[in-house]
Amino acid sequence: MRNLILVVCLLVFCITFAAAQGKISTEWKCDGNPPDQHSIKVPDGSGQSYNIAQGKCTAEKGSIGGAKEQEGTYTEFIDAGATSAENHGVFVDTVAGGDKLYYHYHGSQTFKDGKFVSGSNKWTLHGGTGKFKDAKGEGGCKGKGNPDNSSNWDCEGAYTGVK
């Protein structure tokens, strides 16, 4: 009898845990020239600079916890060289209804002739507002540059804790 109760409890836990998980699959289009951007060049002739930027992205497709993703704002630090950069920052995702999700990310990018070519990052989801208050997750994105200086990012991952 004791084993039966243990098995039933484990089964209920597994079903509850599985129901609380979800997949993230979002496509973002980000502005090419962030309106708030600052750069300090390293004066050693290497072409390196330290930058901080804040810009906007629009969700081309994607939803989380049944809410359609709409707009994102990124705030990031960039250690840039002539052909590559390392970055880290925070991405705030606003979904239909106004709730927000908070992602922390770090990644790398490549450039050619001063234009973004490709990039990738790893992110972790650290909560949000409303039904996303206890959300946790992780995943990654791959990006490519467009002729108009904008970029497209395909992001995949998993999350838990959405009510």
How many Cβ atoms are within 10 Å of 38's Cβ, its own excluded? Answer: 10
Can you tell me the mean pLDDT for 128-146? 97
pLDDT in tens, 70-126: 999 999 999 999 999 999 999 999 999 999 999 999 999 999 998 999 999 999 999
Give residue limits of the domains in the chain.
Answer: 22-160
pLDDT in tens, 3-33: 434 333 333 333 334 445 899 999 999 998 8
Q: Residues 6 or more apart from 72 whose CB is under 8 A from it?
A: 28, 30, 56, 57, 58, 59, 91, 92, 93, 94
How many Cβ atoms are within 10 Å of 8's Cβ, its own excluded? Answer: 10
Point out which residues pair with 25 in neighbouring strands: 156
How far is 61 from 154, CA to CA, in rounded Å?
10
| Torsion angles phi and psi, residue 151, rounded to 5 | -140, 155
Contact 36, 46 (CB under 8 A): no
- CATH class name, domain 22-160: mainly beta
